[in-house]
Amino acid sequence: MSNACRGHVRAVSACRRVRHSSSLKCPYNIVGYKFRPSEEKLFLHYLLPRLNGEDYPKGVVPDCNLYGTKEPWEIWRDFHHSSPDDQEDIYVFTTLNKKTPNGSRFCRTVGAASTGVWKGED
């Protein structure tokens, strides 16, 4: 793994299709600003409004397929630019994919060879 991937990827998961609203935009590229929301604020101000098709601040938490063919260090490289001062976390929306169409388990493999997995935090 690359040394550039020092921190964590915090994913806000959505298991159903959502409508995207585009009226709210927030300029979080302000020098000295660090995006460090609590889990409650992430849920109340980003995930819940997104799932309900309501307005939420755009450009702060981007979409990313964490379980696709990109390697973890590639995802880190692609999204870390939005918060370059923060060496620990990046925040993304992702969708969980079921292992089988009628199953209840989710596929958590990552990378082109599907040999890696994302670890959750307790």
Residue 24 pLDDT > 50:
no
- The larger pLDDT score, comparing residue 112 to residue 119, is at 112
Q: Which residues contact 76 (CB under 8 A, 6 or more apart)?
A: 2, 4, 5, 7, 9, 90
Predicted TM-score (pTM) of the model is 0.61
Residue 102 pLDDT > 60:
yes
Q: What is the pLDDT of residue 40?
A: 92
